[in-house]
């Protein structure tokens, strides 16, 4: 009887070890749900048992709203951090550390961060944003981003790529851990930041873009992007170009340019994959989902300015030639926009996100019926 019990226990141990080998993530995974707003991944971060909205941003060091200063038991460092935002604008920032940040059941110790005024993010997201969950908080873990399920799965075990996936080695910036990868676009090599805080496809600075541009592109005019320390305005071109990574051709992808931006790839590209960010093995795995690049837009975007609703960005195509950047809009569908409030703006934004048809009226009383389309069709 004792011998039978011994062999039974041995078989159980072998089976248990086998299960561990087959399902290593089961015992280590943490699931974090997220909202996906304007190309930004927004997660909940607990600070002393209070939930705060943070942007999940692999392109930045952790930033916390100045409004929370004094509430994190923070310790000031002697280090002065020189930050560079997505528009390549530089600034110096005091550095602090804290043990008060928690996401789901993950507790973070000695997190380096800076305080900053990020109140401008609230109106863009139509919710209170308290910080940026930066790449320095992702070190030594694997972060799987599933855009369809809107969840991030975190583990401390590296994953293997399959025959249907693309594995990309990355290097890291010192201190921030921001990942950089190498890509080939139209036979030219570029180093780009892998930036979940950017809502673009591939964005190249003007010098890089001019090396690969052709005569077939779309042009946007107006407010192009806003980041931590800067606003980018002017014109940008947008095109579809063949991208290759690690000798794997990924087909035509959305490429745009900016005078101020550093070279980066954002969530408009990533959302077509299930993305594994492996900060243990320093690799990114793109798991295919069958999705193809799209750029759905009404061709214009709005922002509130001095209690008015104003066109701040516009696609320059003949169908929109009677509208201009700076035009005041007094009505959107049935919503009175003549006296704009944040509440009204968020109602309009929600309608634009979920709708396919929009009727607007400008200050002179003229109406325009706009349809949301995949604007990449204008490149054909």
First-to-final CA distance of the chain: 78
Residue given tokens 């579809």 in the structure block: 240
In CATH, 30-146 is 2.40.70.10: yes
Instruction: Please provide residue 314's backbone torsions phi and psi, each rounded to the nearest 5 degrees.
Output: -150, 140
Task: Report the distance separating Cα 363 and Cα 342, nearest Å.
Answer: 20
CATH 2.40.70.10 positions along the chain are: 30-146, 158-288
How remote is the C-alpha of 345 from its chain's centroid? 22
Give pLDDT tens digits for 276-286.
Answer: 999 999 999 99
Check whether 23 has a pLDDT greater than 50: no
- Measure Cα distances from 253 to 19, 216, 238 in Å: 40, 14, 10
What is the arithmetic mean of pLDDT over 213-239? 76
CATH 2.30.42.10 positions along the chain are: 296-374
What is the arithmetic mean of pLDDT over 158-170? 87
Check whether 70 has a pLDDT greater than 80: yes
In CATH, 296-374 is 2.40.400.10: no
Looking at residue 228, its pLDDT comes to 44
Looking at residue 304, its pLDDT comes to 87
DSSP conformation class of 322: T
Looking at residue 46, its pLDDT comes to 98
What is the arithmetic mean of pLDDT over 140-147? 97
Task: Report the distance separating Cα 118 and Cα 53, nearest Å.
Answer: 12
Check whether 222 has a pLDDT greater than 80: yes
Q: 114 or 29, which is more confident?
A: 114
Looking at residue 223, its pLDDT comes to 73
Task: Report the distance separating Cα 152 and Cα 112, nearest Å.
Answer: 22
Q: Class for domain 158-288, per CATH?
A: mainly beta
Task: Report the distance separating Cα 55 and Cα 370, nearest Å.
Answer: 31
Q: Record the pTM.
A: 0.87
Question: What residues form DSSP beta bridges with 191?
Answer: 182
Extended beta strands in 101-141, E state? 101-103, 106-108, 111-116, 131-134
The chain-wide mean pLDDT, for the chain, equals 88
Residue 57 class from Cβ within 10 Å (0-12 exposed, 13-18 middle, 19+ buried)? buried
Looking at residue 340, its pLDDT comes to 87
Q: 332 or 22, which is more confident?
A: 332
Looking at residue 27, its pLDDT comes to 46
Looking at residue 328, its pLDDT comes to 94
Confidence of residue 229 (pLDDT cuts 50, 70, 90): very low
The rounded percent of the chain whose pLDDT value lies above 90 is: 75
């Amino acid at each position: 009887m004792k011998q039978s019990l011994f062999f039974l226990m041995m078989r159980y141990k072998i089976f248990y070890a086998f299960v561990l080998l087959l399902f290593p993530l089961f015992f280590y995974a943490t699931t974090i749900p997220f909202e996906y707003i304007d190309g930004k991944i927004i997660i909940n971060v607990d600070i002393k048992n209070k939930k705060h909205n943070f942007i999940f941003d692999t392109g930045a060091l952790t930033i916390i709203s100045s409004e929370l200063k004094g509430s994190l038991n923070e310790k000031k460092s002697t280090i002065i951090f020189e930050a560079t935002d997505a528009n390549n604008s530089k600034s110096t920032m005091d550095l602090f550390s804290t043990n008060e940040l928690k996401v789901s059941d993950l507790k973070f110790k000695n997190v380096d961060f800076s305080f900053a005024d990020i109140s401008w993010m609230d109106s863009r997201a139509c919710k209170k944003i308290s910080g940026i969950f930066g790449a320095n908080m992702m070190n030594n873990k694997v972060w799987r981003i599933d855009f369809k399920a809107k969840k991030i799965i975190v583990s401390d075990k590296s994953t293997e790529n399959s025959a249907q996936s693309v594995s990309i080695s990355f290097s890291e910036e010192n201190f921030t851990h921001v990942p950089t990868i190498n890509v080939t676009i139209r036979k030219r090599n570029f180093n780009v930041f892998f930036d979940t805080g950017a809502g673009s496809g591939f964005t190249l600075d003007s010098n890089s873009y001019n090396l690969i541009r052709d005569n077939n592109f779309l042009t946007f005019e107006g407010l192009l992007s806003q980041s931590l320390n800067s606003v980018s305005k002017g014109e940008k071109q947008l095109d579809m170009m063949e991208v290759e990574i690690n000798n794997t051709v990924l087909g035509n992808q959305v490429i745009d340019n900016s005078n101020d931006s550093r070279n980066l790839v954002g969530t408009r590209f990533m959302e077509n994959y299930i993305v594994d960010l492996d900060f243990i093995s320093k690799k990114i795995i793109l798991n295919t989902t069958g999705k193809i690049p799209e750029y759905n837009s009404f061709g214009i975007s709005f922002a509130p300015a001095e209690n008015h609703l104003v066109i701040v960005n516009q696609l320059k195509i003949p169908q929109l030639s009677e509208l201009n950047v700076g035009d005041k809009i007094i009505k959107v569908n049935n919503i009175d926009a003549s006296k704009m409030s944040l509440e009204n703006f968020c109602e309009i934004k929600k309608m634009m996100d979920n709708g396919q048809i929009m009727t607007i009226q400008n200050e002179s009383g003229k109406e325009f019926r706009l349809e949301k389309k995949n604007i990449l069709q204008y490149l054909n």
